[in-house]
Structure 1
Amino acid sequence: MDTTTFSALAEPNRMRIVELLLDGPLTVGDIADKLGLRQPQASKHLRVLLEAGLVEVQAVANRRNYKLRLEPFQELDAWLETYREVWDERFDALAGYLQKLRIKQNEQN
């Protein structure tokens, strides 16, 4: 997994931009308005997301719409899946242990 992705998403405003773009493409002005940022700040964050490959720009007439690229998020999900499996196993083991404790406690009462 590329650390550039994590670096780009670690900044709260950039993460908020990604969350906004889940609903569809937006212009810099739309993003700035929704987040309460000045347009140059929004542009700076979008440039980082663009360089990380997380968003792409679509020119529509005289507007530049930013939208999420699915591939990097699919890669991130696949990478996280290995950790989900480990945590699921650990949670299952914990649930089994707690169940044994409950049974033991019920037998003592």
Structure 2
Amino acid sequence: MRLYGLKNCDTCRKALKSLLDVEFVDVRADGVPQVVLTQALERFGEALLNTRSTTWRGMDDAQRARPPLELLTDHPTLMKRPLIEQDGTLYLGWTAETKAGLGVA
């Protein structure tokens, strides 16, 4: 299982505490593999973009109008977190639905 997030993100830290045998990938330092971004965008669509982030607020309208895959490739911190991959299945956020899918109480 892999968790893509930021090491200083409270939600990512909560998820890491609850999950066993998880590999943490810091998106700021390591980025997100293109294949994972593509799959996540296909699965979650525009919900993958964190439009409340500092990065998003710092962009002008022309930058925001770029395709989501380009934005996420150039600015991986724009991704909602955490993005969790387990056996080919992707989960976004640390919601009750994600916890249920991963079998976490």
The TM-score normalised by the length of structure 2 is 0.24
Bigger Rg over Cα: 1
| Bigger helix fraction | 1
The TM-score normalised by the length of structure 1 is 0.23
Structure with the greater relative contact order (CA < 8 A, sep ≥ 6): 1 or 2?
Answer: 2
